[in-house]
Amino acid sequence: MASTRYEKPAAAELQGRLTPLQYEVTQKAATEPPFRNEFWDNHAPGLYVDVATGEPLFSSTDKFDSGTGWPSFTRPVEPGRVVERDDTSHGMRRVEVRSQGGASHLGHVFDDGPAPTGVRYCINSAALRFIPAARVAAEGYPEYAALFESGAAPAAAPAAAANSCTVDAGPPPGCAATLETALLAGGCFWGMEDLLRKIPGVLETEAVYTGGALPDPTYEDLHDGTSGHAEAVRVVFDPKRISYADLLEKWFFRMHDPTTKNRQGNDVGAQYRSAIFVTSPEQRKVAEEVKARVDASGKWPRPVVTEIVEAGPVWRAEEYHQDYLQKHPGGYTCHYMRD
């Protein structure tokens, strides 16, 4: 094992360095939503390190598709990098895994993985930073560069039913996320994201394209309205601090006009439609109930036309769209909170 020492920074430094989502996961043992996280489907060769300390943890050569929606590995990059602890939360006994140097919460390890180890390290993307193979040596990890010289591919994915988190009856409590994702569209995502990111309990926002059939869309693809995509915001939130219902009723339906079809202010087109992309039957039920209450409230002079549809593939918008109004204070927006 390399001799470099990795130590946990002071709490104030960590809070300044990490995003709210990264902090909740690594320091408070939260679990991010499956399938809607950064690395679950990442197949590029490279090294995964602790987002808090930089300690090397896992290699892409040991990564496999477990069907769970979280990054999964058959083993750490080397012995001693990951430590195990008993976890009795959720009324069950599991084995939590943390980084050795910084004690960052990473996830859990299960004894239902593929060969050659037979174990599955189920890890939160938010606990990791990924270093592409071509950058491993340059970023200070030359001793690990040889892992990727042969272009080794990730291990073959086991069948989805081969582990305890993909059982037909639904995942047990130990495999459930403690955080939720909402996908909301209400016009230009610049103004939407700026308001959503300030809500107490919201940990992460991202400007995205979703709702259409065109794969890998760009901003230009949305201009003629044929892509079917909407400008939307992916919101990761803590349901213990703000419920999905309150996120919709107290914030989403107040920050845009849900009665104008395919339009917000001067922005006209299907890409500017009002829509809630639900990720579960429970979210659909809540969204329909909230929409009905808003429609019956009399606060809007016209019927609410917000679409409630199943969430599909989501594509991250170009970097210049992310946190646009933070980068450009006073920039264009037609969003504000109504009474």
Catalytic site residue 334?
no
Which amino acid belongs to residue 276? I
Catalytic site residue 175?
no
Burial of 142 (0-12, 13-18, 19+ CB in 10 A): exposed
Which amino acid belongs to residue 56? P
> What are the φ/ψ torsions at residue 286 (nearest 5 degrees)?
-65, -45
Where does residue 182 fall: left (phi above 0), alpha (psi -120 to 50 degrees), or beta otherwise? beta
Non-local CB neighbours of 253 within 8 Å, separated by 6+ positions: 290, 291, 294, 304, 306
- Cα 47 to Cα 137, 238, 322: the distances in Å are 10, 29, 26
> What are the φ/ψ torsions at residue 65 (nearest 5 degrees)?
-90, 105
165, 175, 188, 334: the catalytic one is: 188
122, 165, 175, 334: the catalytic one is: 122
Give dist(CA 211, CA 174) in Å, integer: 31
Give dist(CA 169, CA 274) in Å, integer: 34
Catalytic positions: 122, 188
